Chains A and B, each alone.
Chain A
Amino acid sequence: MLVTIDGKKIKVNKKCTILELATKNGIKIPTLCYHPDLRSDGKCGVCVVEVNGKLMTSCNNDISDGMIIQTTNERIIKQRKINAQLVGCNFEDEEEFRKWLKLSNMPDIDELKFKPHASQELDDSSHDIVMDFKNCVLCGRCIQKCRDIQTVNAICYKGRANATVVTKSLGKKLIDTNCVGCGQCSLVCPTNAIREKESYKEIKKLLKDPKKHIIAQTAPSIRVALGEEFGLEAGISVTGQMVSALKKVGFKKVFDTNFGADLTIMEEASELIERIRKNKDLPLITSCCPAWINFIETFYPEYLNHLSSCKSPHQMFGALIKTYYAQKTKINPRDIIVVSIMPCTAKKYESCREEMSVGGIRDVDFVITTRECAKLIKSFNIDLKLEKKMQFDNPMGPGSGGGAIFASSGGVMESAIRTAHYFLTGKEYSAIDFKVLRGNSGFREASIKIGNKTLNLAIIHSLKNARKILEILKKTRHKYHFIEIMACPGGCIGGGGQPKPTSKEIIKKRAKASYEEDKSLEFRQAHKNPNIIKVYMEFLGKPLGKLSKKLLHTKYSDKSKCGL
């Protein structure tokens, strides 16, 4: 195909959209509603170009032979400005709108002349997400994520023409819908109309209280993404700088949730072996992902017995901080405040669950997302890039490489198999890297031979695929032994609380960084981590022991809302 773009003749072999072709050739076209991972609906109309003299949106029109494309002239710019004004009619703060336009390569507009037609109240009923549709531009990315990728359908459009709004299913409050809190909507929202329920300001206040012993723990996927908030490229690990910045902010200790991940592996691998031995409740399904837990509780409660009873890593770690660490340091557990820095919005609700406390003391007091963490650090005028590298605190940590790879989809499975192999055969697997378990597909299957037994495994990410595998389970119950499910595309590195923008390309880079971190560590299997061995010797006893069961395991219950 021969296409002329801005007077330049280009030969194209592969079919692509006008926008993709322009970007490839270094021509910038402003976009507002376009997202690389989602279907382009051409809603905002800001990306218009002239094709053979006609105005056309470039994000959802494919190129064809002989096209003559003009990407900028007076008419196009005039049209773009009108379209931007229409998009912005819901914005309350004009300044903010202009700032946002600037970020999207848009020329500045003169004035906002269109008035909003439909308004909605702010909805902060949910534990995880705040929906404030004042700034909604009706791009529809959130609905696409919720409907097509997560199949949750908690949000939808309402009305027609200029009365159209994005609202919650059946016009209810968010907490009364089926929302699982994955936060993918907030990750793609271009204007922060949907955002996480922030709690970093509360933490900032508490940090000034000298009586409180405030501890931060950071998830494996934070270190490979936090840098992006400070202008670094995706895929650069900032572990050391992050620890030092958090210390400067005022956290007494900064622990590594990888250690919690190691604990999860010890427990979950033991659970897997026990279930295989008893041939009961197979397949075992992982329970690290709180949005997935919400999903199975609301949509498939009949499969709850397949879930691993393990708490998620940060909850396990929180429980140990308030018992083992408190005993060791002789601090009253009521004075300890555990703040988890997570890539996730659903963990906010998880930490408030009744099941997640022991003797009236909550395992984790606050959960903040990666984005909030960056805001917290920035509010102290700290630039992460300039920080010196520091090590995580002891005695609980550092974690093993098995914990580090929890960040990406397939990581939990890989670490669990590393340890389960050792538990079953008493030997390490010949190669530590299980290449068959890695990849980008949302539905991966593999078989691994351990001793004389072959295990059928499945690795799932995004809830669309979770639904798919549960439908398969309805038919062939015993094909699989072990299934890992993560609600967010790509696993935690693509989590709902991660820096914006997040796209498939960026997720790949983050995954690479976390696998590199695994390789760089001395101990790469949870059961080899000397700190883990010590905790079990000094305090917990053995995996699935009495104390482990009390502190590290939990139960889940049917929370279906009659399919709402």
Chain B
Amino acid sequence: MTHPSVEQVWEWLGTLPDPEIPVITLIDLGIIRGVTWEGDTLVVTVTPTYSGCPATSMINMDIEALLREKGIENLELRRQLSPAWTTDWMTDEARAKLEEYGIAPPQPAGGPSRCPRCGGTHLEKLSQFGSTPCKAQWRCQDCLEPFEYFKCI
């Protein structure tokens, strides 16, 4: 029997949303690092965002459920730690989608460049930690709304 191609598998995986920020996909996030066939086994390599992120096990479950549904029988999910995940791997599309969703995308400067709601640039950090390990809490002093910022890592 012939295997679905690697490209086909990437296409399927591209439909999987991040469980905590469903507006972006797992591929947008840059955490799926490889798809290969090793003999009859499909190996999908996934890297965690933060080492204790509770979404990691959910993500693995979503990947497995999807690929089983697509008829993949021999599947191995491999965890890859190195090189460690970085927000640099996030696609430009993902950054745009995050901002539209109300989460300021990561910036090399270490803080958001503008308020995702009003575009204001007078911003203050409320806390380096937010509702998920990957986010911080900020506030816009122009529109006074709090917002989340996806931290650089």
Partners in one complex: no
